[in-house]
Amino acid sequence: MGVRERFVQEVLSSEADRMLRRQGARISEVTVSRSGRLLHGRDVSVSGGAELDGKLTLTHPVYERFLDIRRRGASGRKSNRRIHNRFVFGAYASIAERLMYGLTEDVAARIRAELDGAGD
């Protein structure tokens, strides 16, 4: 694994953890938990392949998407829990920015040192 592949893996892993943490806090804040499946049924996995090729997969209960849809409640006011799209697209934007601008010489040197140290 080279420096770029390792950098992509680090970015995807850290953004996945950040997304799960922030989304979990929001879910706990705006929903009433009965079974806990909405909160604990989420998972992310990061896989990588060739140079600068990585894949972040989010698995969640299907009904999470329906809770995110804006609709009118019994009071006639619009209700929107904002528990899915806000976090998915926020993570997407953050990943794109970090991949474009984050691989500096300092970061590359740190990753090289880690890779060299792991090979010993």
* Domain region containing 14: 3-112
Is 120 a member of any domain?
no
**Residue 117 located in a structural domain:** no
Q: Residue 80: which pLDDT band, with cuts at 50, 70 and 90?
A: confident
Q: How far apart are CA 7 and CA 28, in angstroms?
A: 32
pLDDT in tens, 39-71: 999 999 998 766 667 899 999 999 888 887 876
Is the Cβ–Cβ distance between 109 and 7 less than 8 Å? no
Domains of the chain: total: 1
Can you tell me the mean pLDDT for 8-29? 94
Q: How far apart are CA 38 and CA 104, in angstroms?
A: 38
Structural domain contains residue 72: yes
The terminus-to-terminus CA distance of the chain in angstroms comes to 15
Long-range Cβ contacts of 36-39 (<8 Å, 24+ apart): 37/61, 38/63, 38/64, 38/67
Would residue 79 count as lying in a domain? yes
Tell me, yes or no, whether 85 lies in a domain. Answer: yes
- Whether 118 is covered by a domain: the verdict is no
